[in-house]
Amino acid sequence: MKLVGVIFVVLQLDLLLSNYCGAAAAKHFGSGGCIANERRALLELKASLVLDDTHLLSTWDSKSDCCSWKGVVCSNQTGHIEMLNLNSRQFGHFRGKINASLMELRHL
């Protein structure tokens, strides 16, 4: 009987923590679902690159959810950007400087 009580308490604690973490993460989301400072960091990176082809990174704009941008993968749970896939086959070669704004992407 004690084991059942312990399992119940653990499940309740897990539910409580998942609700709290979800609410805390939701406070940091920008418009459209991704986190505002991470969207800003990617837009600063894009601005620092020399893009000869205007179609490169064309999905990266301030009006859309950065989690839906080509080459960007976000966590379904937190909304943080977890991966950037900017390979040359998909995007071509980039020129320019790597912007320090990438330091904002702490969950890569």
Average per-residue pLDDT for the chain = 74
- Comparing C-alpha atoms, which of 37, 26, 31, 41 is closest to residue 79? 26
* Residue 78 pLDDT exceeds 80: yes
43 token code pair = 């837009």
Look at residue 81 in the predicted model and tell me its pLDDT.
95
Tell me the percentage of the chain whose pLDDT exceeds 70: 67
Single pTM value for the model: 0.66
Residue with the bigger pLDDT between 42 and 93: it is 42
Look at residue 69 in the predicted model and tell me its pLDDT.
93
Query: Around Cβ 35, how many Cβ atoms within 10 Å?
Result: 24
Q: Which residue is associated with the tokens 């950065």? A: 66
Cα–Cα distance measured from residue 9 to residue 14, given in angstroms and rounded to the nearest whole number:
9
Label residue 40 by pLDDT band (50, 70, 90). very high
**Using CA atoms in the order 62, 73, 20, 40, what is the torsion angle rounded to 10 degrees?**
-30
Q: Which of 48-52, 71-75, 80-84 has the lowest mean pLDDT?
A: 48-52
Residue range 32-104 in CATH 3.30.160.100: no
Q: At residue 89, what is the residue type?
A: R
